[in-house]
Structure 1
Amino acid sequence: MDLQKIIEPVVALAKEAGTAILEVYATDFDVQAKDDKSPLTQADMAAHIIIENGLNQLTPDIPIISEESGLPDFEVRSQWTRYWLIDPLDGTKEFVNRNDEFTVNIALIDNHRPILGVVHIPVTNKTYTGVEGHGAAVRSGSDAPQAIAVATTSAKPVRVVGSRSHRGASLDAFLERLGNFDMHAMGSSLKFCVIAEGGADIYPRLGLTSEWDTAAAQAVVEQAGGAVLQLDGQPLDYNAKEDILNPHFLVRGPADQDWLAIIAAGE
């Protein structure tokens, strides 16, 4: 498969899904729960249908896992070497709170690794891509893609990104050991993307996430020269076990510090 040939159709699907999400986002809604008829569910499902239908036309032989369609039995999916992994609306709290920090995530997984990723931000019409062998890029609207890369040296103070919705004692302890830092809270896959384009140094995620939350943005970070690492130093991998929960992990741009050792010091 020529990944370079399919990236533009996948970007187009992410943008179309983003437009459908914005149509719901523009309405006067007030929702705190994701019930079957909530605006959140409407936006999720509209995006899911667009992406799933589009991918089935683009690559009919490649199976799809979407947050909105449920998880196939591991007996079945463990036989897959390649599949699409999508989160039609990543950042549900951001959507509900109307802070604009939600994304559309589409990833192609090959042998447990994300080899192509698209992260689209509907509100800003900004799209990040990572394609194995072709690097990472960002584009605004219909502008041409611009290559991006992680920072090569960490800033002083270290620029840390973290979840706007999830912050716990483990993260606070890590920050204390880190010393001098600037903390920037943001939602969804934006944290990965800021690191991929050199705007931040590190994102420690010491809480639960699911594989569809991270795959697309991991491809962007890795193709920009960064890494997404489990706490044992191995890259975050996919479809290797029955559940779809990620272990704790670290996203890093610069490799000039032993970030994992700083985390391990508090374990």
Structure 2
Amino acid sequence: MSNITFTAADLHKIVELAKEAGDAIMQVYAQADLGVEVKQDDSPVTAADIASHHVIVAGLKRHFADIAVMSEEAADISWAERQAWQTYWLIDPLDGTKEFIKRNGEFTVNIALIHQGKAVAGVVYAPVLNKCYSGVIGQGAWLEQDSKVTSLDISERQIQTPPIVVGSRSHVSPDVAQYLEQVGEHNMLSVGSSLKFCMVAEGQADVYPRLGLTSEWDTAAAQAVLESAGGVVLAYPAMTPLEYNQKENILNPYFIAASPAWFAKS
């Protein structure tokens, strides 16, 4: 990471902040009324999204007051302002709101640090699963579960036979089916939210093809985790790195997230 220093102590602060946001989410999760509303784009938002947002933004301002923040729940920031940002926090306070509403546990808190268009550090916390993934480019990636911390490294991992593909539980794209025809025989796993990246980072899946719309806050933290674990995330079909804050709209192109071995075989 050029011109930026992100220490283990900094990462610890973000991990603790994600867990604090997770606690706020779980307080709502335990209630009969989740406070569901519908946003202008017809996507759902709950009281938990808002509670998590406030916890994270307050914590980032407290610990990193000089770094700008962009959240899904406060995304009305002009391109004129954003394009001047070299470094900023990109957060999704509750990724997988549909999974939250279904109460299946497959939702996450996502906090990413973006520097010069790259996701350079990220934390993904799944409060129901009690799994916290973290990563810093050039330093490594880790999974904390039940007070045990495991290093994640898929840089030398070979593709399973047949390969394991992970996909969305709530968003099915026709283009994915066409991509899977090219893959041939495979096993398919479905899971919600940014956990799909994390399954690749853990070695539980070989590839996550997302050939459908996502926003930049949906992917940044988990991309940082996966790439810190030695994985690769490329825009598809351009096969160029997935980058951030490079254009006025915040929609990602299609992308493929996988181990290096997956791209080596292509």
TM-score, normalised to structure 2, is 0.92
Give the Å deviation of 1:3: 2.7
Worse overlay, 231-240 or 81-90: 231-240
Specify every segment of 5 or more residues in structure 2 that has no aligned partner in the other structure, as ranges.
none
Q: For 1:35 and 1:73, how far apart are their aligned partners in 2? A: 19
2:246 matched to 1:240? yes
Percent identity between the two aligned chains: 49
2:130 corresponds to which residue?
Answer: 125
CA distance in 2, matches of 1:249, 1:256: 13
Q: 1:40: Cα distance to partner?
A: 4.6
Query: Structure 1 residues 112, 257: closer, same or farther in 2, change over 3 A?
Result: closer
Counterpart for residue 12 of structure 1: 16
SS of residue in 2 equivalent to 1:255: helix
SS in 2 for 1:188: coil
Residue 83 (structure 1) aligned to one of 62, 83, 88: 88
Cα contact 1:35–1:41 (8 A) shared by 2:
no
Aligned-residue CA RMSD in angstroms? 1.8
CA displacement at 1:176 relative to structure 2: 1.6
Report the number of matched residues. Answer: 257
The equivalent of 1:108 in structure 2 is: 113
One of 228, 246, 255 as aligned partner of 1:249: 255
The question of whether the paired residues in 2 share the 8 Å contact of 1:201 and 1:254 is answered with: no
How far is the alpha carbon of 1:189 from its aligned partner?
Answer: 0.5
Counterparts of 2:144 and 2:56, CA distance in 1: 20
Code of the aligned partner of 2:19: K
Please give the alpha-carbon distance, in whole angstroms, between the structure 1 residues aligned to 2:197 and 2:262. Answer: 18
**Does the Cα contact within 8 Å between 1:127 and 1:138 map onto a contact in 2?**
yes
In structure 2, relative to structure 1, the CA distance for the partners of 1:116 and 1:257 (3 Å cut) is: closer
Query: Is 1:205 matched with 2:224?
Result: no
Say whether residues 1:145 and 2:149 are aligned partners.
yes
State the one-letter code of the partner of 1:177.
Q
Task: List alignment gaps of at least 5 residues for structure 1.
Answer: 262-267
Q: Following TM superposition, by how much is the alpha carbon of 1:5 offset from its aligned partner in structure 2, in angstroms? A: 2.0
2:159–2:206 CA contact under 8 A, matched in 1: yes
Residues 171-200 of structure 1: per-residue CA shift (max 9 Å, x gap): 111112211100001000000000001110
Moved more, 43-52 or 69-78: 69-78
TM-score of the pair, normalised by structure 1? 0.91
Structure 1 Cα separation of the partners of residues 19 and 152 of structure 2: 20
Q: Supply the distance in 1 between the matched residues of 2:36 and 2:56 (Cα, whole angstroms).
A: 25
SS at match of 1:60: coil
The whole-number CA distance in structure 2 between the counterparts of 1:41 and 1:192 is 24
How far did residue 253 of structure 1 move? 1.4
C-alpha change, 1:123 and 1:70, in structure 2 (3 Å) is: same
